[in-house]
């Protein structure tokens, strides 16, 4: 996993929901994790990851996700059994570095 995806995943799963996460970063992370995304009605996307399906909303008037979007995303990733890599969770160097 790239350092950028690792940091984003850590901030979503381990920290309080922030307000400076951009939709394009979320989209990139989900694609990297192997999620299948398809447009649904309006600003909604049907996302399937590890046989778990949910609908995520693209922010309307900004590319920055709200805290509620991040909370929803965290719940989805938790249900899909996505976790922060062990070395990254402890702040240790990984083999990729």
Name the CA dihedral angle for 48, 51, 54, 58, rounded to a multiple of 10 degrees: -20
pLDDT in tens, 10-58: 999 988 777 689 999 999 999 999 999 999 998 899 999 999 999 999 8
Write down the pTM of the prediction: 0.82
Digit-coded pLDDT (tens) for 80-90: 999 887 764 55
Boundaries of every domain in the chain = 3-89
Both tokens of 77, joined, read: 């990733």
């Amino acid at each position: 996993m790239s350092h950028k995806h690792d940091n984003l995943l850590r901030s979503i799963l381990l920290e309080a929901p922030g307000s400076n996460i951009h939709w394009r970063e979320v989209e990139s992370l989900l694609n990297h994790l192997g999620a299948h995304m398809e447009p649904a009605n309006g600003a909604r996307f049907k996302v399937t990851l590890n046989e778990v399906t949910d609908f995520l909303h693209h922010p309307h008037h900004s590319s920055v996700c709200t805290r509620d979007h991040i909370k929803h995303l965290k719940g989805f990733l938790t249900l899909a059994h996505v976790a922060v890599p062990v070395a990254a969770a402890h702040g240790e160097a990984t083999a990729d570095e």
